Structure 1
Amino acid sequence: MAKSRNNLLGVGGQRRKLSKGDQQGSAPARAADRKAAEDQKQELLRRMRERAQGQQQES
């Protein structure tokens, strides 16, 4: 019989260790990084939509 596939302990890598600052809740820099990443994603989506609309209008 094959090994149990229901036991996924350890699958998916290790958890990231939290720094003392993160543990204490002082992570405004991470929030700013997250906001910057979200802004980049929105800008990328906007450019992709514009490009797709331009291709539809040319057809």
Structure 2
Amino acid sequence: MAKGRNNLLGVGGQRKKLSRADQQGAGSARVADRKVAEDKKQELVRKMRERAEAQTATTAEESGQSGQGAPAQS
């Protein structure tokens, strides 16, 4: 059995040092920046979904048109 197994110092990552303003509940610029970044991400995801839906619809229309005009072979 390895020595020092009971010593869990440093496990779990590091904690961010809080400034006095953050400790007192004042909103920092970091929080606002995260909100802006999240909003940009949501907008990008929305645009990507719209493009994917449009591409899927276009592909479905093309495959539907090519199948209707072809004569049936026996």
| Root mean square deviation of aligned Cα | 2.5
Unmatched segments (≥5 aa) in structure 2: 60-74
Q: Structure 1 residue runs of 4+, over 6 Å off?
A: none
Gaps of 5+ in 1: none
| Cross-structure match for 2:44 | 44
Q: Deviations over 1:9-57 (max 9, x none)?
A: 6334211111111001111534422321221121111111112112201
Bigger-Rg structure (1/2):
2
Pairs aligned (count): 56
Q: Percent identity?
A: 68
Look up the match of 2:54.
54
Name the TM-score, length of structure 1 as normaliser: 0.64
